[in-house]
Structure 1
Amino acid sequence: MSRRTLLGAAAGVAAGAGILAATGSAHAEPVTARTPDFARGRPVVFRNATVVTGDPRIGTLPDSDVLVSGQTVRAVGRNLSAPHNAAVIDGRGSILIPGMVDTHRHMWQTVIRGLGAEWTIANYFSWIYQQWANFWRPEDLYASNLLSMAEAINAGVTTSLDWSQDLKNYEYAEAAAQGLIDSGGRARLAYGYSFAPPHEWVTSGDVARLQRERFSSTNQLVTLQLAWDGTGLPEEPGFPERPAWEFAREHDLRVTLHSGVRNWKEDHQLQMLRDNGFLLPTNTYVHCGTMSDSSYRMIAESGGNVSIAAESELNAGQGYPPTGRIHGHHIPISLSSDTQVWWSADMFAAMRATLNADRGIDHLRAHAEDKTVVNNNLRTEDVFRFATQGGADALGLGGRLGSITPGKRADLVLVRADTPSMVPLINPVHQLVFHAQRGEVDTVMVDGRVMKHGGRLLGDGFARARRLAEASANHLRERIGERQWADAQNPGPYQVD
Structure 2
Amino acid sequence: MTKTLIKGGQILSMDDGLGSFTGDVLIEDDRIAALGPQIEAEDAEVIDADGRIVLPGFVNAHLHTWQGAIRAIAADWPSGGYFKHVHAGISPHYTPEDTYIGTLVGALSQIEAGTTTLFDWCHNNATPAHTDAAIDALEEAGLRAVFGHGTVKPEPKPGEPHFSTIPHPVAEIDRLRKGRLHDDAALVTLAACILGPDYSGIEVCRHDFRMARDYDLLSSSHIWGLNRLVADGYMTIAREGLLGPDHNIVHANYIGDEELRVILDHGATVTSTPPVELGPHPVEPLVSRILRMGGRPSIGPDTEVDLTGGMLDTMRASLMGARLYNTKHADGLLAEEDVKERKVGVPTARVTEPPVASIEALKWATIDNARALRLDHRIGSLTPGKQADLLIIGRHSLAMMGTVDPAQTVVHFAQNADIDLVMIAGQIRKSGGRVHGVDMTRIAQEQAASAKRLFAAYPISI
Using structure 1 for the length normalisation, give the TM-score. 0.83
Question: 1:194–1:271: structure 2 CA closer, same or farther, 3 Å change rule?
Answer: farther
Question: 1:370–1:469: structure 2 CA closer, same or farther, 3 Å change rule?
Answer: closer
Q: What corresponds to 2:31 in structure 1?
A: 72
Q: What corresponds to 2:216 in structure 1?
A: 252
Amino acid aligned to 2:33: R
Amino acid aligned to 1:151: S
**Correspondence 1:304 to 2:268:** yes
**Correspondence 1:109 to 2:67:** yes
**Correspondence 1:380 to 2:358:** yes
Give the 5 Å matches for 1:190-209.
Answer: 190-195=148-153, 197=163, 200=166, 202-209=168-175
Q: What corresponds to 1:29 in structure 2?
A: none
**Correspondence 1:414 to 2:392:** yes
2:233 to 269, 274, 295: 269
1:159 to 117, 125, 142: 117
In structure 2, how many angstroms separate the alpha carbons of the residues matched to 1:458 and 1:359? Answer: 37
Q: What corresponds to 2:5 in structure 1?
A: 45
Q: What corresponds to 1:55 in structure 2?
A: 15
1:314 to 272, 278, 294: 278
In structure 2, how many angstroms separate the alpha carbons of the residues matched to 1:350 and 1:414? Answer: 19
* CA-CA distance at 1:168 after TM superposition: 1.2
Amino acid aligned to 2:72: G
* CA-CA distance at 1:58 after TM superposition: 1.0
- Find the residue that maps to 1:158 and give its secondary structure: strand
Residues 197 and 228, structure 2, Cα contact 8 Å, conserved in 1: no
* CA-CA distance at 1:310 after TM superposition: 0.8
Amino acid aligned to 1:212: K
2:423 to 445, 470, 494: 445
In structure 2, how many angstroms separate the alpha carbons of the residues matched to 1:365 and 1:154? Answer: 38
Q: What corresponds to 2:157 in structure 1?
A: none
Residues 164 and 199, structure 2, Cα contact 8 Å, conserved in 1: no
Residues 262 and 318, structure 1, Cα contact 8 Å, conserved in 2: no
Q: What corresponds to 1:36 in structure 2?
A: none
**Correspondence 1:331 to 2:289:** no
Q: What corresponds to 2:342 in structure 1?
A: none
Amino acid aligned to 1:128: V
Residues 149 and 180, structure 1, Cα contact 8 Å, conserved in 2: yes
* CA-CA distance at 1:284 after TM superposition: 1.0
**Correspondence 1:122 to 2:80:** yes
Residues 451 and 457, structure 1, Cα contact 8 Å, conserved in 2: yes
Amino acid aligned to 2:141: S
The more displaced of 382-391 and 126-135 is 126-135
The more displaced of 414-423 and 350-359 is 414-423
CA deviation map 1:261-296 (0-9, x unaligned): 555569722122112211111211111211111011
- Find the residue that maps to 1:189 and give its secondary structure: strand
Question: 1:197–1:277: structure 2 CA closer, same or farther, 3 Å change rule?
Answer: farther
Q: What corresponds to 2:305 in structure 1?
A: 341
Q: What corresponds to 1:426 in structure 2?
A: 404
Structure 1 residues without counterparts, runs of 5 or longer: 1-40, 490-497
In structure 2, how many angstroms separate the alpha carbons of the residues matched to 1:266 and 1:116? Answer: 30
Structure 2 residues without counterparts, runs of 5 or longer: 154-161, 333-346
Q: What corresponds to 2:444 in structure 1?
A: 466
Residues 90 and 455, structure 2, Cα contact 8 Å, conserved in 1: no
Amino acid aligned to 2:366: T
* CA-CA distance at 1:173 after TM superposition: 1.0
Give the 5 Å matches for 1:135-284.
Answer: 135-195=93-153, 197=163, 200=166, 202-231=168-197, 238-264=202-228, 268-284=232-248
CA deviation map 1:295-316 (0-9, x unaligned): 1110121011111111001113
Q: What corresponds to 1:361 in structure 2?
A: 325
% identity of equivalent residues: 28
In structure 2, how many angstroms separate the alpha carbons of the residues matched to 1:254 and 1:455? Answer: 34
- Find the residue that maps to 1:476 and give its secondary structure: helix
In structure 1, how many angstroms separate the alpha carbons of the residues matched to 2:231 and 2:6? Answer: 48
**Correspondence 1:97 to 2:61:** no
Amino acid aligned to 2:362: F
In structure 1, how many angstroms separate the alpha carbons of the residues matched to 2:458 and 2:132? Answer: 25
* CA-CA distance at 1:377 after TM superposition: 4.2
Amino acid aligned to 2:6: F
Question: 1:440–1:265: structure 2 CA closer, same or farther, 3 Å change rule?
Answer: farther
- Find the residue that maps to 2:83 and give its secondary structure: helix
In structure 2, how many angstroms separate the alpha carbons of the residues matched to 1:92 and 1:171? Answer: 47
* CA-CA distance at 1:47 after TM superposition: 1.4
Using structure 2 for the length normalisation, give the TM-score. 0.90
CA deviation map 1:373-413 (0-9, x unaligned): 31144221211100000111111110110011111100011
In structure 1, how many angstroms separate the alpha carbons of the residues matched to 2:87 and 2:390? Answer: 36
- Find the residue that maps to 2:169 and give its secondary structure: coil
Question: 1:151–1:370: structure 2 CA closer, same or farther, 3 Å change rule?
Answer: closer
In structure 1, how many angstroms separate the alpha carbons of the residues matched to 2:282 and 2:234? Answer: 17
CA deviation map 1:21-54 (0-9, x unaligned): xxxxxxxxxxxxxxxxxxxx63222111111111
Residues 199 and 244, structure 1, Cα contact 8 Å, conserved in 2: no
Amino acid aligned to 1:274: A
* CA-CA distance at 1:357 after TM superposition: 1.6
Question: 1:117–1:138: structure 2 CA closer, same or farther, 3 Å change rule?
Answer: same
Residues 193 and 221, structure 2, Cα contact 8 Å, conserved in 1: yes
- Find the residue that maps to 2:138 and give its secondary structure: helix
* CA-CA distance at 1:436 after TM superposition: 1.2
Question: 1:364–1:118: structure 2 CA closer, same or farther, 3 Å change rule?
Answer: farther
In structure 1, how many angstroms separate the alpha carbons of the residues matched to 2:394 and 2:426? Answer: 20
Question: 1:412–1:60: structure 2 CA closer, same or farther, 3 Å change rule?
Answer: same
* CA-CA distance at 1:251 after TM superposition: 0.4
